[in-house]
Amino acid sequence: MRTIPPELVERYEAQGWWTRDTLGDVIARGLAAAPDTPFRVHSAVRPWEGTFADVERLARRLAAGLRARGVGPGDVVALQLPNWVEAAAVFWASSFLGAVVVPIVHFYGRKEVGYILDTAKPKVFVTAERFGRMEHHPDLTAQVPIVGVVDQDFDDLLADEPMAGVLPTDPGAPVLIAFTSGTTRDPKGVVHSHQTLGYETRQLAALLPPDRGPQLTAAPVGHFIGMVNAFLIPVLDRMPINLADVWDPAKVLSLIENEGLTLGGGATYFVTSLVDHPDFDVARHLPGLRYAGLGGSSVPAAVTTRLDQLGVIVFRSYGSTEHPSVTGSLYSDQVDKRLHTDGRPMPGVELRLAEDGEILTRGPDLCLGYLDPQLTAQAFDEDGWYHTGDVGVLDEDGYLTIVDRKADFIIRGGENISALEVEELLLGMDGVAEVAVVAAPDARLGEHAAALLRLVPGAPAPTLDDVRAHLAKVGLARQKWPEELHVLDDFPRTPSGKIQKVVLRKNIAAGRIGE
C-alpha cells in the first residue's frame, strides 16, 4: 500500500473524517436503528421482500457460519452475485466479521473472474450457478477453501443462531478490494480501508437531496459504487432498499409509475435510456426522475441541458474507484454550475492541476493503493497526491470541468484533438442519443477521429456527410471532423455504464466494429 503522509492522517482524524468505527460498526448501528425498513428485490427469477431485520438475521447467521469455519478479520471474502438479497447478506456478514470484501460484477466472464480470484486469493467465494451471461466455473474455485452457490449449498454456510456484535478490527485496515474494469490489460485491484470507505459513504450521502424518495438500485452491486449505493447509504440514512437484477428501462419506468420508486442517477446512460424509451411520459414518470446526480463517465452539456428542460434537477460529480468523490455540485447550486461543471472539491479533498492540466487529488476517501505495488508507485507520489490521468479546468469560483482523459486525445498528424469536444457537438444532432469519438489507425496521419453513434429509437441514421455538415455549421475546425462513422445498437460498457472506449478502439483497428 502507499505511504500516507503523517500530517494528512493527523488532519483527517482531527477533523473527524477518519473515525475509529469499522464498517461493521456503521452497518450494525444503522440496521438496529431502523429494523422495520423495507428491503425488496424486483426480479423475474428471484424476487424477495422483507425488512432490514430479516436481512440482518440472514447476514448474522452467515457470519456465524463463516466464523465457525475460521473466517475472521482480514480474511478475504469474494462474491459474484446479481442484485439479490444474498449479496447484501454476504457484504454485511463480511463487515461484521471484519473481513475484506471483493465484489465481482455478475456478468464478468471466466477470464476476469479467474484473474480476480488468483490475485485476491479469497478464503470464501459466494456465487450463483447461472444468471444471464454469468456461469459458475467450479475449476476456477478449486483453490478457494469455502465456496457457496446460491440455490445449491449456500444455506449450508448458515449457522442456526446468528452471530452477535461486530468483531474488533483496525479501522485503517483494508475492508474492500474493488477491481476496475479491464479490457486491454487485467483489472486493477483498488484497496479501500474502513476509514476511506466510511468517509466516502457519509460524503456521498450528503450530496443526495433529503426528499429524493425510495431509490431503485439497478447498477450491479458487484461494482464498487453500486454496492455503496445499495447496501451502505440506505442503512446510513434509514431509507428503503430496492434492487433490480437487470437494467430494463421499460421495467424501471413501470416501477417508477406503479411503485413510487425514484432513480438517483449514475452514469448518463441510465437516465437517457429512460427518457429515450417509447414508454416514457413526462406526466407519469417525471416524479421518479426529480433529481439526477450524474457522474461515473463524461457528462455532456447537451444531456444535462435536455434533462433540465424536461424539469429534472441535474447535479454532477466527479470521481473514480480510486478516489470516489473528488468534486460535486449540490442539487441546490445555481443552474449553470450544476449543468456545465463537475462541481467543487468535496470537504477534505484537495485538488490541483499539473502543467498539462492533469488533475491531481488527495483526500480522506482516497484509496490505500493497488494490489500491484508497481501500479501504486506509478499513480501516487510521496506527498500523497493521486495522478488521475484526467484533464480538467477550474473556473473563477473553483468549479472543476473535466476536459478529457489524457488517453482520449486523438493525435492526428501531430495535432491533438479532444474527443470530448467533438462528442459534445455531435450530441446536438437530431436523433443522436449517445456518442463516442475514438482514435482510428491512419496510414498517413497516424490517427484520425472515428465517431460512433447510438440513435434515439426510430431515428434515421445520418451519413458521414451529415455529420460533417453539422460540425461545419457549429464551427468546429475541419481537421477535427471525424473521418469514420459507425452507428451501433449499443456500446460495450463497464459495469457502471461507462462506454468502453478502449474496446471500440481495439475493434475498429481489427475491423470488428459492431461486435
| Fold category of 247-369+380-405 in CATH | Rossmann fold (3.40.50)
Instruction: Note the maximum CA span of the chain.
Output: 71
Please, which pLDDT band fits residue 300 given cuts at 50, 70 and 90?
A: confident
CA distances from 269 to 132, 213, 391 (A): 21, 21, 22
pLDDT of residue 402: 85
Going from N- to C-terminal start, the domains of the chain cover 24-201, 247-369+380-405, 413-509
| Predicted pLDDT at 181 | 64
pLDDT, one tens digit per residue, over 367-419 is 999 999 999 999 999 999 999 988 899 999 999 998 876 667 787 876 678 78
Residue 400: per-residue pLDDT: 95
Tens digits of residue pLDDT in 412-463: 876 678 788 899 899 999 999 999 999 898 877 778 999 999 999 999 999 9
Same fold, 24-201 and 413-509: no
> CATH code for 413-509?
3.30.300.30
**134-150: per-residue pLDDT in tens?**
899 999 999 999 999 99
Quick one: pLDDT at residue 202?
94
- 5-21: per-residue pLDDT in tens? 999 999 999 999 999 99
The whole-number pLDDT of residue 185 equals: 59
Contact (CB, 8 A) for 477 and 448:
no
For residue range 328-361, what is the model confidence (pLDDT) as tens digits? 998 899 999 999 999 999 999 999 999 888 999 9
Cα→Cα distances 75→66, 97, 123, 145, Å: 11, 9, 6, 12
- Of residues 32 and 422, the one with the higher pLDDT is 32
What pLDDT score was predicted for residue 107? 81
359 vs 318, 330, 388, 400, CA distance in Å?
11, 21, 6, 10
> Mind listing the pLDDT tens digit for each residue in 98-123?
999 999 988 888 888 999 999 999 99
Q: What is the pLDDT of residue 475?
A: 84
Determine the pLDDT at residue 184: 40
Architecture of domain 24-201: 3-Layer(aba) Sandwich (3.40)
Angle between helices 301-310 and 268-275 (to 10 degrees): 50
Q: What confidence category does residue 183 fall into, taking pLDDT thresholds of 50, 70 and 90?
A: very low
- Say yes or no to pLDDT of 251 above 80: yes
Please tell me the predicted confidence (pLDDT) of residue 171.
Answer: 97
SS3 for 283?
helix
Of 177-191, 243-257, 383-397, least confident by mean pLDDT is 177-191
pLDDT at 223: 86
Residue 296: pLDDT band (50, 70, 90) is: low
Mean pLDDT of 237-251: 95
Name which of 189, 241, 200, 139 is nearest 349 in CA terms. Answer: 200
pLDDT at site 268: 80
Mean pLDDT across the chain, nearest whole number? 92
**CA gap 304, 167 in Å, rounded:** 45
C-beta of residue 17 within 8 angstroms of C-beta of residue 364:
yes
Residue 210 has pLDDT above 70, yes or no: yes
Q: How buried is 34 (Cβ within 10 angstroms: 0-12 exposed, 13-18 middle, 19+ buried)?
A: middle
pLDDT of 219 above 60: yes
Percent of the chain clearing pLDDT 90 (strictly above): 73
Given a cut of 80, whether residue 515 has pLDDT beyond it is: no
Predicted confidence (pLDDT) per residue in 459-495, tens digit: 999 999 999 999 999 988 788 899 999 999 999 987 7
Q: Is the pLDDT of residue 298 over 70?
A: no
User: What gap in Å lies between CA 393 and CA 417, rounded to an integer?
Assistant: 17
